[in-house]
Amino acid sequence: SRFETCWPALMKDSHGVIIIFNPELPSHLKEIEMWYSCFVQQQPLLDSQCLLVAHHKPGSAGDTENLSLAYPLNKLKLIHSNLEDDPEDVRMEFMKYFKSIITFINESREREEMSIIS
């Protein structure tokens, strides 16, 4: 990709990764493996710091039940977004995700401070 040279700058000190994809495009399903590998595994971030969002376009079939992702993507939190149907659900999931990241950052900071003290 022509933006690969920017990736190290994007990744530096990041605490979370949200990968949004169109589940109806087979090419996207292959690409999210690459994004996960580069942005999560190589950093390394925990799987809990990654959120997958399958975004269904308005008017699409939106078969949310039968999206089975292969390992290791199937370990990640996956939400389906369809802004026609229920934007509130998606908003709630985003809030939960951001809260978990903030908790993680605070706990990491406390551990660092304790290690300095001791």
pTM: 0.83
> Which of residues 2 and 107 earns the better pLDDT score?
107
Question: Which own/partner pairs from 63-70 qualify as long-range (CB within 8 Å, at least 24 positions apart)?
Answer: 67/23, 69/29, 69/32, 70/33
Domain ranges of the chain: 11-117
Can you read off the two tokens belonging to residue 70?
């292969």
Residue with structure tokens 């809990």?
48
Model pLDDT, residue 106: 95
Tokens of 4: 């690969």
pLDDT digits (tens, 9 = 90+) for 19-34: 999 998 888 888 999 9
Q: What is the spatial distance between Cα 80 and Cα 37, in angstroms, rounded to a whole number? A: 21
